[in-house]
Amino acid sequence: MLIAIPCLFMRGGTSRGPFFLESDLPSDIESRDRVLLAALGSPDSRQIDGLGGANPLTSKVGIVRRSSKPGVDLDFLFAQVMVDRAVVDTTPNCGNMLAAVVPFALEVGLVRPQGETTTMRVLTLNTDMQCDVTVQTPRGQVEYEGSAKIDGVPGLAAPIAINFLDTAGSVCSSLLPTGNVRDRLTVEGKGFDPFSIDVTCIDNGMPLVIMRAADMGRTGYESVADMNADAELKARVEALRLKAALAMGLGDVTSKTYPKMCLIAPPRDG
């Protein structure tokens, strides 16, 4: 039997997906997750029967409600829906989808505009992190057109400002979960020779492992297609991710989408 559930399909930053009012979804987690998997079309590599875009960046969900916490306007639960697995992960946060929370709440009448701009305090339930989100609301409506540009999104749009109030240790125990600014990790695995590399393990809103691209034998300016086709690099990065996660106190993250792996390089355009 098909059941109609209202949602608003929105882009936040470089991510997109359906936003739901919590009250429109089942209250028990197992049923809720079945609904989200069906809505996105997972598990299926193309997500052909749902709203997912066959990519982790376009297989995300926002769930919003009025907050009962003093001083907080909205509660936001982020859900990462796996593309080819029947898994819904609500452990990490997503700053991109967070940018669409207040526009969504305004569009569905959950909150009212405040004037030329509207600022709402949002609690991310995944990580118990609060932030103030400011959107442009001239004439009492969300403004989407503007002159702001971000990498990864074509064209221009209205800016959305997010002031994070306390992001350190959002998932891990602290900002620097290993206790060090820099760690040297030695990694072994199949398909590549053992290697040692300097990394920074940090959690400032999302657990990250940061390394020099040159230390992985890459420039840092490879295209997405080149990176996806680089089987050796992907194997080394994944083995490093699993090793770093243990050092960060995250345990076995084989089925998790974090920590995120970041290859950095010197700027080439100033």
Rounded to an integer, what distance in angstroms lies between the CA atom of residue 121 and that of residue 163? Answer: 9
List pLDDT tens digits, range 165-204.
Answer: 878 888 898 999 999 999 999 999 888 999 999 999 999 8
List pLDDT tens digits, range 201-220.
Answer: 999 888 999 999 999 999 99
Does position 1 have pLDDT exceeding 80, yes or no? no
pTM assigned to the model: 0.80
Q: Tell me, what's the pLDDT at 159?
A: 97
List of domains in the chain: 8-164 (3.10.310.10), 183-264 (3.10.310.10)
Q: Tell me, what's the pLDDT at 188?
A: 92
Please list, residue by residue across 76-102, b when 16 or more beta carbons sit within 10 angstroms of its beta carbon and e when fewer do. bbbbbbbbeeebbbbbbbbbbbbbbbb
List pLDDT tens digits, range 51-95.
Answer: 999 999 999 999 999 999 999 999 999 999 999 999 999 988 899
Cβ–Cβ < 8 Å for 177, 204:
no
Q: Tell me, what's the pLDDT at 250?
A: 95
Q: What is the mean pLDDT of the chain?
A: 95
List pLDDT tens digits, range 104-129.
Answer: 999 999 999 999 999 999 999 998 89
CA 187, 237, 59, 163 dihedral sign is: positive
Percent of the chain with pLDDT over 70: 100
Does position 5 have pLDDT exceeding 90, yes or no? yes
Rounded to an integer, what distance in angstroms lies between the CA atom of residue 200 and that of residue 56? Answer: 24
Rounded to an integer, what distance in angstroms lies between the CA atom of residue 270 and that of residue 266? Answer: 9
Q: Tell me, what's the pLDDT at 256?
A: 87
Rounded to an integer, what distance in angstroms lies between the CA atom of residue 241 and that of residue 79? Answer: 21
